[in-house]
A and B are shown apart, each in its own frame.
Chain A
């Protein structure tokens, strides 16, 4: 009950801090608008449409036919430049020589045995393009699987379903190519949610470490209720800001936030908790509001830069900075969001979320350990 009291009154104080709240909403909206408009050209270049793909289709049956239809579809050719080859070896060689970004092999009699599988071969140097081809192929496979399943249930509807399902599930070119507005909506959303660390810094300092916090501790509230009430209220404040930003940019700027809203919400929630966790850890370690505020003011832009939040860094896979990105909470959140919105690698989304959870765990542990210094 006392936790609820702590939570509620912290939340209304955050809400009444209008200048901070509006700053945290207006600034990202303004930045998304400015960056989205001014850097629009940089994002209009055929960034992924010139993805070179070689393919070798050995299947002469309905699967092979569907594959050709799918790959030759207008939406697919917007993204891919297709080159048919006459053997698997030729396709692999093209990948090895760097002439194509990926090679797809559709073996003969794909439906005849479990050991016969659709093959996709790509280069690690072109991770992003490979992911696009992989996503398209997954869409194709899903469509085929659906047709086969429908055939089992009602063979008469096969033709109709085949047409509808395969075409309907083709990947939309506009979905996989984020415009400047789409890109900066994600990076600025993450950056400003990370600025939510300031709620933790100033909130924890005032209502936990300072005189008012001491006074609260002389009441019958338990320390865990006091601590959690503050953390949860600050976290919700940041999350609400995130949701308002997503809603506003979706309906006013037409930003694409994808269709997987529950997963999007979950990532925003994790980002909010991570921001509050980091802020709490910083203020508990330093014990100094001003110093903590300064650290946040430096740390957040650096983390955003490392994550390519201001402009894409295009770092080589094996470089030091590339690995350093994984230490940036912004990079983790951004990658998880981009993968969710643009139907990317779900495993990668999960691994990003997992690392975010580890950061949350570490930061709150640090905060709790450091907080003991103040228990004289």
Chain B
């Protein structure tokens, strides 16, 4: 295992941010960490990178206990923080060089790796420009370049695609795959289910400081394959209607947003007829109806009782 988290506990006064969390990440995989706000994802990442202390538990990175060899381990970790953490008064090249030097690169190797990192994120032609003139997507890519110039074995990416244009997002996702192909192991958090589904080799779902499920995307979907998701567009939705549907036998979850009604129900429960009847009685009309196959979104909804988008 490249990263082993065993029984981590972190408490802030009366709040248990990380609750006996255990997680193993294999060498060469992209591990996705999914969870709503306050689930403890960032606290867990901060503990791994040494920014936050832990109250209990052990962390082994590259087989070495982080408690006794923090500095040595840091040499081989690259962190891409959620917020853009670069210097506006240093050029793109200087930013990457600065972090490269902190990771111990020197001389010709530093120059070569800096150039490689900038080319990798598509900023090679803008090496001499200041990030204050960059778009959000370009800043995000520079944020990544600063974490990879030293070719770390473990790259931790905390929501690296938040708030950027689709072109930059695709570029970043492709970069993540390339980094994995080149041998890096990646711990990736995101609110975007589809991107986690698309790039992660394994996924851990986190809620209230604990890992509540983990496995490949397919394994997670199989866990709730006995369920189906019904999506309807109605002329109007009210709370009474949602409550009535929730009372039906076989309905696991129901929520409405604007004119869209989502029902998670046990598979083959034959509820569509009953739901249509309730809608009819409420005076609303059905404009469209769709029964979806299980997605990571529905897995998350089933396991946590929350929609990740709503909490994100």
Contacts and interface: CB of A to CB of B under 8 A. Distances in A.
Nearest to B103: A219
Contact of B86 (A12, A212, A217): A212
Interface stretch (B74-82, B218-226, B293-301): B74-82
Interface string A200-240: 00000001001110111111111000000000000000000
Of A16, A17, A212, A217, chain B has the most CB atoms within 10 Å of the CB of A212
Query: A-side binding surface: helix, strand, loop or mixed?
Result: helix
Contacts of B50: 217-218
B101 interface: yes
A216 B100 CA distance: 11
Interface string B72-105: 1011010101011111011000100011011110
Nearest to B76: A220
Contact of A214 (B72, B81, B84): B81
Contacts of B7: none
Contacts of A6: 102
Contacts of A221: 102
Contacts of A211: 81, 83-85
Given A219-B99, A220-B71, A13 B85 contact: no
A2 interface: yes
Contact of B87 (A5, A13, A219, A376): A13
Interface in A9-39: 9, 12-13, 16-17
Interface of B: 12, 46, 49-53, 71-72, 74-75, 77, 79, 81, 83-87, 89-90, 94, 98-99, 101-104, 146
Given A214-B85, A219-B99, 15 more contacts: A5-B101, A9-B87, A9-B94, A12-B94, A13-B87, A13-B90, A17-B89, A215-B79, A215-B99, A215-B146, A218-B74, A219-B102, A220-B102, A221-B102, A376-B52
Contacts of B86: 212
Nearest to B17: A376
A9 B90 contact: yes
Interface of A: 1-2, 5-6, 9, 12-13, 16-17, 207, 210-212, 214-222, 375-376
B150 to A, nearest CB: 9
Nearest to A214: B51
A218 B71 contact: no
Contact of B81 (A2, A12, A215, A375): A215
A20 to B, nearest CB: 11
27 contacts: A2-B102, A5-B98, A6-B102, A9-B98, A12-B90, A12-B94, A13-B87, A211-B83, A211-B84, A214-B81, A215-B81, A215-B85, A215-B99, A215-B146, A216-B102, A217-B51, A218-B51, A218-B77, A219-B99, A219-B102, A219-B103, A220-B102, A220-B104, A375-B53, A376-B12, A376-B46, A376-B51
Nearest to A216: B102
A220 B94 CA distance: 18
A16 B83 CA distance: 23
A195 to B, nearest CB: 19
A119 to B, nearest CB: 62
